[in-house]
A and B are shown apart, each in its own frame.
Chain A
Amino acid sequence: MPAISVNNISKSFGKVKALDCVSLQVSKGELFGLIGPDGAGKTTLFRLLTTLLHPDEGTAQVDGHDIVKDYLAIRQCVGYMPGRFSLYPDLTVEENLNFFAALFGVSVEASYDLVAPIYRQIEPFKERRAGKLSGGMKQKLALSCALIHRPNILFLDEPTTGVDAVSRCEFWDMLSELRQKGITIMVSTPYMDEAARCDRIALCNEGRILSIDSPTDITRGFDAPLYAVKARNMFELLQRARTVQGVLRCYPFGEYHHIVTDATFNTDNFQSSLNALEDLQIQAVSPTIEDMFIKLMER
């Protein structure tokens, strides 16, 4: 039995189709990532799976329970961290944790071993009001609160949005640790570079799933040759590269521009036609998840 099973689920809000016939399976103990920009339907999917919304069509099971019929059973066994800061800013760190433990009818001591690796980092500040914590510390507290009742499945909606790169990295380390303990985790993020930390990912956009696979396998579908190019004047390169024979797409990618090419592309020809640009470099690269996402979006 999969931990989460979603079958052809659709959900609309007025005219906007937030989810359009989405299906996916998450196995027990998996760290599953929903990768996509705002408006992809990630939050709606989370709210459906945490039984906060009813689907228009389709069915879904969480930990074997139907999200419509058995919603009370689901609420016992899942942990949920919504996208927004979901703690009480006027309560202290400790009061927040105690409250969420009481909410699920457990004691903090009983689950301390599970939350300890995370909570210990903020325990020195337990008298501080949650509203006065830094972004990274708020996250840790929110995660501790979501874990306090030992859920089988953890839903994390964009936990790293608006958080700096270092805190984001630390957060993913914590998730990997939780995964070791057998908790199934479903997490969403708009940052493509975080996808590699998941066991499997679903790329989603505008209510549809573009592709589901492991991060390494997902880029296999990228069949066109891909090059990274660089020159002194990057803006000019961007404009001129698009005119070269065999270039399908050219877009900025970190310190390089990536060019997606077809069979007629030839690197020598590329270099000679753009030789007016200073310091022109070109090299073949393997596609990343972001390249794949762009390709899938443009299809």
Chain B
Amino acid sequence: MKKSNFQSFVKKEFLHIFRDVRTMMLVLLIPVVLMVLFGFAISTEIHNLNVAVVVPNKSESIRQAVNRLACNPYFTLVDEVANTDIDPVLRSGKADAVVVFDEDYDRILAQRNAGINTPPAMQFIIDASNTNVAQSGAAYLQQVLAENHTPQQLLNLHLLYNPQMKSAYNFVPGIMGFIFILICAMMASVSIVREKEMGTMEVLLVSPVRPFKIIMAKMIPYFMISCVNLMTILLIAHHLLHVPMSGGWWGIIVVSLIYLILSLTLGLLISTIATSQAVALLVSAMLLLLPMMMLSGMVFPLENLPTVLSPLPNIIPARWYIQAIRKLMIMGLPLSAVWREVLIMIAMIIVLLVVALKRFKDKLE
């Protein structure tokens, strides 16, 4: 097949993609939507936690503590309630947390400042029906209210790389891992399988074109679209979400391109297994997306896995990619720091490609 013919093959694939306006829009918009969604709307940070306080006396130090709560952007002071109203105010949902100051608040603080062991000076009662909110809320409250009053702090907490604990930093690598699997693996495999389903694959196979060319021509458009997406994501991440990209752009791009190729290879493998578009979608979703969400460290920390399952994430491509991107993007390490992840991904590409090409036959059985 001459080069010009290969180009017309690629052109045809682009036409398929552009003709399907809905899919096209979806492909280009999904990254933007996900980025904005995770970057702004969905975050594990807590804003405007409604707090009520129980104040037994209006001593100066209590007034100061309540003031600190009221001024903090993370909390909204809703009410001052009586001891007996704690339950109703939580039940009615007016408050997410109640801070109860001890009657001897001043005395306990004074003793504490003097280094005497004391009972707690206040109590937090928190609505834990949403465990995430409860946990973070408790931690925030503790930080805000304990400030300045525990000079003999037991530990010195120092948060590296993401001192404000911005959740966007955590999600951007995850979203990248997710989107490229979606577009490269899922969509490319569906597009190959569609030809099988339509019967056009029969005609393609009964032509002098070698299967390898057919596949390459199918992969190129998805690769290029993914490159566009990559740029969109990086630009949004940097300019809108202020992700530092401290390791430099080139490292991120190189690692991402390797991951793109890996995703395409996965898609190719799926297309050799699936016989219908529905099966291709199902296989992609069950074997790629679901394990990726669970085991790549994108949503749930890998450290929480039971030991039996702990080797499992190692076979998830996204896990290595996300790990590498975190190092480059947020920790600001140079490309040389992720050589292990890169090597693993390249090894995966080789293995998958060999298996896929072995399975992809120019026959129908």
Direct contact of A and B (CB under 8 A): yes
Residue numbers of A with Cβ under 8 A of B are 47, 50-54, 72, 75-76, 78, 80-91, 95, 98-100, 102-105, 129, 145-146
Q: For the complex, what is the distance from the CA of A200 to the CA of B205, rounded to whole Å?
A: 29
Once the chains bind, are B204 and A103 in contact (CB under 8 Å)? yes
Once the chains bind, are B5 and A85 in contact (CB under 8 Å)? no
For A52, give its contact among B15, B206, B208, B209 (CB under 8 Å).
B206
Q: For the complex, what is the distance from the CA of A104 to the CA of B16, rounded to whole Å?
A: 20
Once the chains bind, are A90 and B5 in contact (CB under 8 Å)? no
Q: Which 10 pairs, one residue from A and one from B, show the smallest C-beta to C-beta distance?
A: A102-B8, A84-B199, A90-B19, A102-B5, A86-B199, A80-B206, A52-B364, A50-B206, A82-B202, A103-B207
For B12, give its contact among A72, A81, A82, A95 (CB under 8 Å).
A95
Residues 222 to 251 of chain B near chain A (Cβ within 8 Å): none
Does residue B198 face the partner (Cβ distance < 8 Å to A)? yes
Once the chains bind, are A90 and B9 in contact (CB under 8 Å)? no
For B2, give its contact among A76, A80, A105 (CB under 8 Å).
A105
Once the chains bind, are B202 and A91 in contact (CB under 8 Å)? no
Chain A residues, Cβ within 8 Å of B303: none
User: In this complex, which of B16, B205, B207 has the most chain A Cβ atoms within 10 angstroms of its Cβ?
Assistant: B207
For B207, give its contact among A47, A85, A91, A104 (CB under 8 Å).
A104
Residues 90 to 138 of chain B near chain A (Cβ within 8 Å): none
Once the chains bind, are B206 and A95 in contact (CB under 8 Å)? no
Chain B residues, Cβ within 8 Å of A105: 1-2, 5, 208
28 sample A-B contacts, Cβ–Cβ < 8 Å, listed by A number: A50-B202, A50-B206, A51-B206, A52-B205, A52-B363, A78-B206, A80-B202, A82-B199, A82-B202, A83-B199, A84-B198, A86-B203, A88-B16, A90-B15, A90-B16, A90-B20, A91-B15, A91-B16, A91-B19, A99-B8, A99-B9, A100-B203, A102-B5, A102-B9, A103-B207, A104-B207, A105-B1, A145-B203
Residues 176 to 223 of chain B near chain A (Cβ within 8 Å): 198-200, 202-209
Once the chains bind, are A52 and B5 in contact (CB under 8 Å)? no
Chain B residues, Cβ within 8 Å of A82: 199, 202-203
Does residue B365 face the partner (Cβ distance < 8 Å to A)? yes
Number of B residues with CB within 8 Å of any CB on chain A? 25
Q: For the complex, what is the distance from the CA of A53 to the CA of B364, rounded to whole Å?
A: 6
Give A89's nearest chain B residue, CB to CB.
Answer: B198
How many Cβ-Cβ contacts under 8 Å join chain A to chain B?
A: 79
Once the chains bind, are B202 and A98 in contact (CB under 8 Å)? no
Give A96's nearest chain B residue, CB to CB.
Answer: B12
Chain A residues, Cβ within 8 Å of B205: 52, 75
Q: For the complex, what is the distance from the CA of A86 to the CA of B1, rounded to whole Å?
A: 21
Chain B residues, Cβ within 8 Å of A87: 200
Q: For the complex, what is the distance from the CA of A113 to the CA of B6, rounded to whole Å?
A: 25
Chain B residues, Cβ within 8 Å of A129: 19
Please give 7 more A-B residue pairs, beta carbons under 8 A apart, in addition to A102-B9, A105-B5.
Answer: A80-B206, A87-B200, A88-B12, A102-B4, A102-B5, A103-B5, A103-B204
User: In this complex, which of B4, B198, B203 has the most chain A Cβ atoms within 10 angstroms of its Cβ?
Assistant: B203
Q: For the complex, what is the distance from the CA of A86 to the CA of B199, rounded to whole Å?
A: 5
State the Cβ distance, A272 to closest chain B Cβ, in Å.
Answer: 57
State the Cβ distance, A208 to closest chain B Cβ, in Å.
Answer: 22
State the Cβ distance, A110 to closest chain B Cβ, in Å.
Answer: 13
Once the chains bind, are B364 and A47 in contact (CB under 8 Å)? yes
Chain A residues, Cβ within 8 Å of B16: 88, 90-91
Q: For the complex, what is the distance from the CA of A95 to the CA of B207, rounded to whole Å?
A: 17
Q: For the complex, what is the distance from the CA of A98 to the CA of B16, rounded to whole Å?
A: 14
Once the chains bind, are A80 and B203 in contact (CB under 8 Å)? yes
Give A86's nearest chain B residue, CB to CB.
Answer: B199
User: In this complex, which of B4, B202, B365 has the most chain A Cβ atoms within 10 angstroms of its Cβ?
Assistant: B202
Give A99's nearest chain B residue, CB to CB.
Answer: B12
Q: For the complex, what is the distance from the CA of A86 to the CA of B206, rounded to whole Å?
A: 12
Given A52-B206, A86-B200, A91-B365 contact (CB < 8 Å): no
State the Cβ distance, B357 to closest chain A Cβ, in Å.
Answer: 17
Once the chains bind, are B207 and A54 in contact (CB under 8 Å)? no
Give B204's nearest chain A residue, CB to CB.
Answer: A103
Once the chains bind, are B1 and A52 in contact (CB under 8 Å)? no
Chain B residues, Cβ within 8 Å of A91: 12, 15-16, 19
Once the chains bind, are A104 and B208 in contact (CB under 8 Å)? yes
State the Cβ distance, A4 to closest chain B Cβ, in Å.
Answer: 15
Q: For the complex, what is the distance from the CA of A89 to the CA of B194, rounded to whole Å?
A: 12
Chain B residues, Cβ within 8 Å of A54: 363, 365
Q: For the complex, what is the distance from the CA of A38 to the CA of B208, rounded to whole Å?
A: 30
Give B209's nearest chain A residue, CB to CB.
Answer: A103
